Structure 1
């Protein structure tokens, strides 16, 4: 039941303080897929079969492929599709690539492709892998004097940590990776008795989350064991140990790639009607504003991640980790700032990004999802480092395209043309009517109001 209280609807509560219009379900995960759908539609959607048909419509007719998708996640009831597009003509470190992009936002693929075409005759994109180090921590509490704990770590614990994880790291070491370093970090000034075992890893071509977390969990066990044996600690000190958690960090400031473009200012040749010199000056000003103004930097970096995430998703990697790391890196100096930078010194235009990013080309979905396998094959089966470079380039290209529009024609001219079909589809336009609108807006800026006016005029005829 819903009650009106002070002019507003409120759900009545049962005696156990749960809303009476819905009841919790037991064993939802054990229901069949159809059973889950039936329960949701009946419980939340008033039995409307239209919603049931929507969910059923997106099941894959290939039963084996659908079973594969079902097992990627939990309580799967359908598939959520996104457009899968291609941005061609990316010249990256001398290789010509077509980038796969899974993204729903209008203009992202088009902007990336346009930027790639702009730079293809100017040397393309150059990349440098600065480092590939990934991090993880064992977080623990212990009431021991810091110097005493440090001595124990240096002369006993550190060696034991490497020994205890040898079986876990064997395969990774055979591929050229493994644990690079382990440090004891004293954080007791910020939280009483708080310390970390901070480890750095090289996971080669895998993203390495499971590998890192397995090592860290063993660190936690070994820490407990070794402290229980340590004769220099009192029993009270031993009893004060609490291993809080063992977990990788998605902030990887030492796993970083640089992508850049450069050319003589006289070769910029923008077709917007402004001079090359003015274009370079305004472009640099736009980047500088993003470097100093967090409100602009947030939107600026969001545009970068439009390009990065689209390729991350298409290659079966974790875009949430990518986003978290990039934004943490953008704020590493205590103020949120631009991920890209620009100079126009000595007649040379230079634009670059330093992107911290941790991705893999083995493990996870890379050997399972058919489109992920296609994406990696399309990119020439890159190594993890090569994929890092491709992702940085995609972000840089996206940012170049956005800034190029912002400082010349404005962002809406191109964006709204890409959005035009979304508006027309919502209005039920025919294919013939869509072609009319493409011609109609060829030399005009698309606005929602103008689309409606012209649509009504066309239909009235």
Structure 2
């Protein structure tokens, strides 16, 4: 066991790890090379036991037209071709109506879990009075949020009989304006939990009440954004490849229907959406893990995991819609602390939280559209392999001349690590003979 690790300096932490796990000393150089000379103290605040930084590419997907407004969207992601796919779709749809988005609702939820001898019907009868008293108990916490249009907007009490007949939850709905609201919600919940115990015990001192947990929920089925693409089917020629636009639209529709009914396909289908979503969420300093969890739970809201998208083909018009839960913020957290998160929001014209929801939904839709279009025409590997080839060539320190020859050579051949290695070895042997 390593004792007192958190109290060590960055250099001491590295030395301990090298010794403990018998690692080569060259690792220290790698870790130190990824430290930021000017901003390391800022980055150290974001996490604990920091010994270096893990960098991701920060790319831009331009030409997004969202509700008739142009955006260049920042994306932080390591997966090959995600930014390219988003950019390609954005450019195409910019000439065909753009991305139409709107926020359906922005309500978030917190939960107070408690055990008690009270019965459900009695708690429900008390709820109107409880709601007034609990709101009053957190007035000092909510008054600023209320001025910005947020605050507590409702409460529901539920019995959690799957756990225990004495186990209950008080589900509290919040509006958090432009903040994600996690700290605000959790602070309110903890204060209200103590007050709930006080109130119920005062009403009947013979009945026990004990708070078990107080925490926000990352399941946000009432914090929803919708994004729609629509154009005449004939306009899809640019994506239809060897198929007619009508054949392409039919194949695309089949792929979407498959994702609605086949769980194995649905997971990968939705992952393609989250490629774009996560990249922008991360670039803007928001919590991509929370949004991922909420999105996949929403995809299973019917009791069976399914696609987050719906499709309609009618009167020779192609209409594709994404419905996505998304709880995020443009104030608080890392949004104004991380230099690149702050830059990202500035690049997006400092959007409100609802505006950012719409921008991110468009990025998710762009990536999903591009992925599905490739799948039903040339196949997903064509674009991926081009980037994969570039990555492999980089690992072998290929020269510019070798890269050009390799790209021509693998136009009609399968890219693999061994195939590229063999190609480069052959090229280098030939060059040595000259």
Q: Tell me if both proteins adopt one fold, taking TM over 0.5 as the criterion.
A: yes
Deviations 1:347-386 (A, max 9, x none): 1101110000001000011111111111101111111001
The SS at the match of 1:81 is coil
- Do residues 49 (structure 1) and 25 (structure 2) align? yes
CA distance in 1, matches of 2:375, 2:85: 12
Q: How far does residue 396 in structure 1 lie from its aligned partner after superposition?
A: 0.6
State the secondary structure of the residue aligned to 2:62: strand
Paired residues of 2:201 and 2:209 also in contact (CA < 8 A): no
Query: Which residue does 1:203 correspond to in 2?
Result: 176
Match of 2:9 among 7, 13, 32: 32
Quote the Cα distance in structure 2 between the aligned partners of 1:412 and 1:201: 44
What aligned pairs does 1:226-375 form with structure 2 within 5 A after superposition? 226-230=199-203, 233-235=204-206, 237=207, 240-271=208-239, 272-375=241-344
Partner Cα separation in structure 2 for residue 177 and residue 159 of structure 1: 16
Deviation at 1:150, TM superposition (A): 2.1
C-alpha separation between the residues in 1 aligned to 2:266 and 2:142? 40
Contact kept? 2:329, 2:353, Cα under 8 Å: yes
Is the Cα contact below 8 Å between 2:113 and 2:169 reproduced in 1?
yes
2:197 matched to which residue of 1? 224
2:92 aligned with 1:115, yes or no? no
| RMSD value, Cα | 1.4
* Counterpart position of 2:404: 435
Match of 2:374 in 1: 405
1:136 aligned to 2:110? yes
Structure 1 spans left out of the alignment, 5+ residues: 1-23
Deviations 1:171-197 (A, max 9, x none): 000111111111222233653211111
Q: 2:58 maps to what in 1? A: 84
CA distance in 2, matches of 1:72, 1:189: 38
Of 137, 143, 153, 2:127 maps to 153
Question: 1:376–1:382: 8 Å Cα contact kept in structure 2?
Answer: yes
* 1:365-404 pair list within 5 angstroms: 365-404=334-373
Q: Deviations over 1:182-238 (max 9, x none)?
A: 1222233653211111111110100000001011111101011112211xx252x1x
CA apart distance, 1:270: 2.8
Partners of 2:415 and 2:62 lie apart in 1 by 26
The reply on whether 1:74 has 2:31 as its aligned counterpart is no
- The runs of 5 or more residues in structure 2 that have no matched partner are none
User: Structure 1 residues 363, 234: CA separation in 2 closer, same or farther (over 3 Å shift)?
Assistant: closer
User: Hey, what's the Cα distance between the residues in 1 that align with 2:58 and 2:112?
Assistant: 39
Tell me the CA shift for residue 293 of structure 1.
0.2
TM-score under structure 1 length normalisation:
0.91
C-alpha distance in structure 2 between counterparts of 1:93 and 1:213, whole Å: 34
Q: Does the 8 Å CA contact 1:286/1:407 hold for their aligned counterparts? A: yes
The aligned residue for residue 164 of structure 1 is 137
Q: CA deviation at 1:249?
A: 0.2
**Could you list the per-position Cα deviations for residues 281-316 of structure 1 after superposition, in whole angstroms to 9, with x for gaps in the alignment?**
000000000000000001111111011000000000
Aligned positions, number: 429
State the alpha-carbon separation in 2 of the partners of residues 363 and 73 from structure 1: 16
Which residue does the alignment assign to 1:182?
Answer: 155
Aligned counterparts of 2:85 and 2:417: Cα–Cα separation in 1: 21
Question: 1:8 maps to what in 2?
Answer: none
